[in-house]
Amino acid sequence: MKDEKNFETDLLNTQDVKATAAATLAPDATNGDKIKALRTAQHMSMAELARRASMSDRAIRYIESNQREPSVEAIQKIAAALGVTTDYFMDEATFQQELNDDLFYADVRKKYGSRGVAQAKKIKEQTTALFAGGELSEEDQAAFIKEMEALFLDAKADAKKFTPKKYLR
């Protein structure tokens, strides 16, 4: 019974904190703005948030000042430290898409380095720009992007076959 009461109190406190934070946010608030608003509504310092999220003070500072967009992993850690779900920062579909992108870029980085990641991001940006007309459904767009990612990996693998050994790591 006592645990239920504590849970209800914690839930109400979290809802109050969210409401307080939401009142200070603009409609176009970034994730950094949301994190800062939640942190200040809980009277928490950046150092305390960094400690609770197992991140560096600098990482929190960069995210809150919108100098760096947080990764999915960082959002998960920060959300847990602030006592909210990741839905506060992005909806489930966006979260899954970001997670898939992070996994894809991690795979590309492991195989082809930071230059490969830059190339993959450029291709993805250009592919996304093709959809500006809005004639494809969301599912078709996702399938098209997946196919472009697969083609990118295939092209990189083929190019590696013809690279002299002295340039391979």
Q: Where are the alpha helices (DSSP H) in the chain?
A: 2-23, 31-41, 46-53, 57-64, 72-82, 92-130, 138-161
Count how many residues are written for the chain.
169
Residue 49 has pLDDT above 80, yes or no: yes
Residues 6 and 79 in one domain: yes
**More confident call, 63 vs 167:** 63
User: Among 58, 73, 88, where does a domain finish?
Assistant: 88
103-124: average pLDDT: 87
Residues 6 and 84 in one domain: yes
User: Among 38, 57, 88, where does a domain finish?
Assistant: 88
**More confident call, 72 vs 1:** 72
Any idea which of 13-22, 38-47, 80-89 has the lowest mean pLDDT? Answer: 13-22
Residues 50 and 108 in one domain: no
Residue 13 has pLDDT above 70, yes or no: no
Structure tokens at 152: 């990118």
**More confident call, 162 vs 81:** 81
* Residue 168: per-residue pLDDT: 64
* Model pLDDT for residues 83-94, shown as the tens digit of each residue: 888 877 877 677
Computed over every residue of the chain, the mean pLDDT equals 80
- Only one residue has tokens 């999915």, namely 72
Q: Evaluate if pTM is beyond 0.75.
A: no
Domain span at 76: 2-88
* Residue 128: per-residue pLDDT: 78
Closest C-alpha among 78, 148, 59, 64 to residue 156: 148
Residues 21 and 75 in one domain: yes
Structure tokens at 127: 């592919």
Residues 61 and 113 in one domain: no
CATH number at residue 54: 1.10.260.40
67-85: average pLDDT: 89
User: Among 66, 88, 110, where does a domain finish?
Assistant: 88
Contacts of 90 (CB under 8 A, 6+ apart): 31, 75, 98
* Residue 28: per-residue pLDDT: 74
Residues 70 and 18 in one domain: yes
Within 10 angstroms of residue 156's Cβ, the number of other Cβ atoms is 15
Residues 63 and 97 in one domain: no
Structure tokens at 89: 């920062």
Residues 12 and 57 in one domain: yes
Question: Domain tally for the chain?
Answer: 2
Residues 137 and 65 in one domain: no
Rounded to whole angstroms, what are the CA distances from 17 to 14, 23, 68, 83, 145? Answer: 5, 10, 24, 10, 38
